[in-house]
Amino acid sequence: MLISHIAQKMIRESHGNLHDINHFLKVYAYARTIGVSEGLDPAAQTVLEAAALLHDIACPLCREKYGNTDGAYQEKEGAPLAAAFLQDSGLAPEAIDRVVWLVGHHHSPSAGEEPDFRILLEADYLVNADESHYPRAAIESAREHLFRTASGRALLDAIYLQP
């Protein structure tokens, strides 16, 4: 129920921007799929799913303020926006802190190796590869250097690396 509430609120606050809505819902779907497949505990799964829904919360502000959605701007602006968004969500304070950290680092692959973080990076990459039409060589490189989970690699292979 909590995740559904967060998703509905994010959709409402996207003001009909279909690209943004479709993007965060696809990232959420991949993150959920990978997290469940990798056996995350329920608390970590909830944090992951909330972060997937909120990871690009700063994009509208960044477009307005900077004229683009550069990852560094998203991280800088996204963390405080996510904290405010989740303030009355019912998530435990430590869960909110973790979601905020994930949102504030989702364009920094070297920031950690924790499963929720790696899964968020993988899910976002799976969507970005399609939306930005990444070449096969870039996808193969990401498989080797970015992806850590067996489930994420299996999805990447099935979607993009078929012979």
3-state SS, residue 107: coil
Residue 154's pLDDT is 98
| Rounded Cα gap, residues 56 and 78, in angstroms | 7
Give residue-wise pLDDT tens across range 71-117.
899 999 999 999 999 998 999 999 999 999 999 999 999 999 999 99
| Rounded Cα gap, residues 106 and 75, in angstroms | 7
| Rounded Cα gap, residues 106 and 23, in angstroms | 14
Residue 132's pLDDT is 97
Is the pLDDT confidence value at 25 over 90?
yes
Residue 87's pLDDT is 93
Residue 26's pLDDT is 98
Residue 70's pLDDT is 86
Helix axes 71-86, 59-66, angle to 10 degrees: 130
- Are 74 and 128 in contact by the 8 Å Cβ rule? The answer is no
Give the residue-averaged pLDDT of 59-64: 93
| Rounded Cα gap, residues 116 and 44, in angstroms | 7
3-state SS, residue 39: coil
Q: Is the C-alpha dihedral spanning 87, 33, 147, 57 positive or negative?
A: negative
Q: What is the DSSP letter of 111?
A: G
Could you give the dihedral angle defined by the CA atoms of residues 150, 151, 153 and 156, in that order, rounded to the nearest 10 degrees? 170
Residue 108: both structure tokens together? 């920094």
Residue 163's pLDDT is 82
Give residue-wise pLDDT tens across range 109-130.
999 999 999 999 999 999 999 9
Residue 15: both structure tokens together? 């003001």
Is the pLDDT confidence value at 44 over 90?
yes
